[in-house]
Structure 1
Amino acid sequence: MANGYLVERRSGRDRRMVSDRRLGSERRAGDERRQSADHESVAAARGLISGGESFIDATTGAPYELAPMGSKSTLARSLLDGVGAVLVDIVGGFYEAGTDAKAWPQVLSRLRDLIDADVCAIASHEHDAGRGRLEHSVGIDALYVTAYADFYARDNVWLRDQEKFTTADTVWASQDLLPDARLVETEFYKFWLRPQELFHHLFGVINVEGDRVLFLMLGRARAKGAFWEDDADLIRRLLPALRRGLSAGVGFKRLQSLHRIALDTLDALPIGVFLLNDGGQIVVANRLAREILQDDEGLYVSTSGLGVRLTGGRVKVRDLILGGPSRAGERAGEIQGFSLPRGPGRKPVTLLLSPVQDFSEARNRSDPAAVLFAADPERPVEVDPRRLTRIYGLSRAEARVAALLATGKRLDEVAAALGLTYETVRKHLKQIFSKTSSERQADLVRTLSLGPGGLRI
């Protein structure tokens, strides 16, 4: 079918237009695919190399004889028994793709070529809702990927027998799910398969959760013939590795998400936090810690890691962390506190160094060994009046007064900043005391600055 030709489909009130475009880089020419169907090309595609008139296993170097097409071939059996470099590469690719989605096209292409398929995809399907999509695919035009999710997933005649897709690691050939004679009569074939020159398919169930199934799908042209039984055996043996790779990817993404949430949470704290390794190097620093370090308030970074300038001179934090060996998994030393003096009339930056208790045997020197907390009393606390309204039930006017008081301003300074009289501010303060259960202004400031209203979010 020529590029740009539109296939029109009417079903009830629906009128669907699907363009049968071809991407040359995604689809191999028909002649090339037919040539690869001979024994020598199939052997090469399965990780084997030609050695004159005989064939040699690329992994073991052992010669073997080719069995007739469609039978239990020695070629495929040798590959299954010995696994082979290609399969090892594919299995490794599953784990890589599980953590990096950009690797899916490469590993699916290798699997497609290994069993001489034209397309390869990981697909999902929800039986109750009749929804499905191609999660990752190679050899399928993006237009057909979209059309499958929008229209044809619910028309996929091979998925109508849900019982066939309830057990992981089961493999089905398309002709076992629906006879070929009936397939060609379906709209799914006429409007989605045939325009892509696809016919024979192989399905491998990866995972089942309730009515949702995740499966591997490989397809090829009718001229190539049905998939071999050995192809099904190979896919069946690869499915557990594919499932573990996907599971590892889910776990990795969950850890990434938790890592981002933890960093965002640290950034919200109104106190500086440094995570340091054994060598005093900064592993993680939250936003306020970075600001204190940048302002050069007695903390500095050198090739020896983080250091502090005390009254008696400079001290390397790593020397404070490593006070000597202790029991396995423990850090030597007690919690230590310091004050970093600044100029006359200025309040010092205060520090608290706490060792990390890590009992993991897999711990290495780059992991956090201590936490350094840093507080700068001269750094203003930023309190959002809108949060005070939601947390304490303050009115807007009361919240604005409370937010300024939390920064350390006096009542007259608050009145001047808001353009209010001193007496009006005093009336607001009385209501604020009542709603926050505070008795004195010092109690109020402590409540506001240490409560969730003082978080930097």
Structure 2
Amino acid sequence: MLRNLYQGPLENIPWTTFLDQLKLCLASRYATFILRPPSQHVEGLTINTDGASAAVTDSYNQSFYNLDPFVGLPNRTVITLAEFVTDSDWLNSEFYRNFLEPVDVFHILGADINTSDGAQCRIRISRGKQDPAFTQDDKDLLTLFLPHLEQAVQLHMHLNRVESERNLYAGAVDQLAVGTIILDQDGKLLQKNRLAEHLLEEKDGIKVVNDTLQVGTARDSQAFRQLVKQALLSQKSNHPSVVEAMRVQRPSGRADLGIIVRSIPPTTWNEGKLCPSVAIFISDPEQESSAPQEIVKALFDLTPAEAQLAMLLANGLTLDEASDALGISRNTARAHLRSTFSKTGVTRQTMLVRLILRSVATLG
């Protein structure tokens, strides 16, 4: 059970295996772990064992949490509902009559865990009215698990923070229209972002064969493999990060791909296989900027028409092509451009394009 408790943060729905085992061990109807209590402003995050109704959980999160008397327990202390509320008050409470009696929950064993970094968790074990009340042995058993559950929650929170940061940075790279591929310590493909996946599916200058990247011609692939080998050697020997670059022609005749190969510095205690070792960054000149017009408009105080024109120019159109695309005259386009120059403080079209592409607009 301890092994499954610490494995919990890695499950698709955390701690379901442990909770199911705990339910059986304590001969209960339900084992519930509230990772985040509901409130007026925040929806609760609850993990239930098999058999618990999603509708019941939703009902608790939306309204009944306000009526729950079995909250605010002493931190890290296992107590029974009978020690907290009298049977008479419990039987006459609206919470019991309208929420728990219909699902035959009467006896509850529980504990609250408030961690040093702000988590407020609750574990609740439930039995029916005809079932025996929880004993001191039941309390002692749950008490044994509490410090381990608190530690597992802290691991879960740390992993979540790391994952949130990773997703944020990965999303930023996606917005910048840069393909990213991560290789493991054997040079095999480990991860890729959406643009890289799209480029690999096209097989136009870069593809995957047996989890190994191949680029351009046979000669290109040989040069690429050498760059990856150098990056891997640098990574394994803890040398400063190696950065190499090459261009790859595409069979279709479209613009060449630009490829950067760099080693990923290992962490101090990095070990085992499937460790990120080499990063491949791919630029496709034909990818258009994905900066939202509303963001460009807000950043530079442009009108909608000026923002539309600026985005078309940033994506490589000439002023004549942009005016045709917008269905406006060249004189009108020139007027929009002069106004945009005035607002952004630039004096040339190339400077405007550089300003937009290097601004935070591309992260919007």
| CA distance in 2 between partners of 1:344 and 1:149 (Å) | 56
Deviations 1:20-50 (A, max 9, x none): xxxxxxxxxxxxxxxxxxxxxxxxxxxxxxx
* Residue from 308, 312, 321 that aligns with 2:228: 321
The DSSP-based 3-state class of the residue aligned with 2:216 is strand
The correspondence of residues 150-229 of structure 1 with structure 2, limited to 5 A, is 153-159=65-71, 162=72, 165-168=73-76, 170-180=77-87, 183-184=90-91, 198-207=105-114, 214-221=121-128, 225-229=132-136
Distance 1:93 1:345, change over 3 A: closer
Distance 1:416 1:255, change over 3 A: same
* Residue from 26, 30, 33 that aligns with 1:122: 33
Distance 1:317 1:156, change over 3 A: same
| CA distance in 2 between partners of 1:385 and 1:136 (Å) | 41
* Residue from 362, 368, 372 that aligns with 2:270: 362
TM-score, structure 1 as length reference: 0.64
Query: How far did 1:316 drift?
Result: 5.7
Query: How far did 1:268 drift?
Result: 0.9
| CA distance in 1 between partners of 2:9 and 2:69 (Å) | 29
Instruction: Please list every run of 5 or more consecutive structure 2 residues that lacks an aligned counterpart in the other structure.
Output: none
> Which residue does the alignment assign to 1:59?
none
Bigger fraction of residues in helix: 2
* 2:19 equivalent to 1:108: yes
> Which residue does the alignment assign to 1:238?
145
Q: Which has the higher contact order (CA 8 A, sep 6+)?
A: 2
Distance 1:302 1:427, change over 3 A: same
Query: How far did 1:223 drift?
Result: 5.5
Distance 1:342 1:177, change over 3 A: closer
| CA distance in 2 between partners of 1:351 and 1:450 (Å) | 20
Distance 1:166 1:440, change over 3 A: same
Distance 1:265 1:364, change over 3 A: farther
Deviations 1:295-354 (A, max 9, x none): 444333323711333695532634322237458652588422222245899753332222
> Which residue does the alignment assign to 1:403?
311
Query: How far did 1:269 drift?
Result: 1.1
The correspondence of residues 294-309 of structure 1 with structure 2, limited to 5 A, is 294-303=201-210, 305-309=212-216
Distance 1:175 1:125, change over 3 A: farther
Identity %: 24
Contact 1:299–1:308 under 8 Å retained in 2: yes
The DSSP-based 3-state class of the residue aligned with 2:33 is strand
* Residue from 165, 170, 175 that aligns with 1:268: 175
| CA distance in 2 between partners of 1:447 and 1:112 (Å) | 60
> Which residue does the alignment assign to 1:448?
356
| CA distance in 2 between partners of 1:212 and 1:326 (Å) | 41
Q: CA RMSD in A?
A: 4.1
Contact 2:234–2:242 under 8 Å retained in 1: no
Query: How far did 1:392 drift?
Result: 1.3
Over alpha carbons, which structure has the higher Rg?
A: 1
Distance 1:259 1:186, change over 3 A: same
| CA distance in 1 between partners of 2:48 and 2:362 (Å) | 48
Contact 1:276–1:282 under 8 Å retained in 2: yes
* Residue from 369, 372, 375 that aligns with 2:280: 372
The correspondence of residues 58-137 of structure 1 with structure 2, limited to 5 A, is 89=1, 91-100=2-11, 102=13, 107-123=18-34, 135-137=46-48
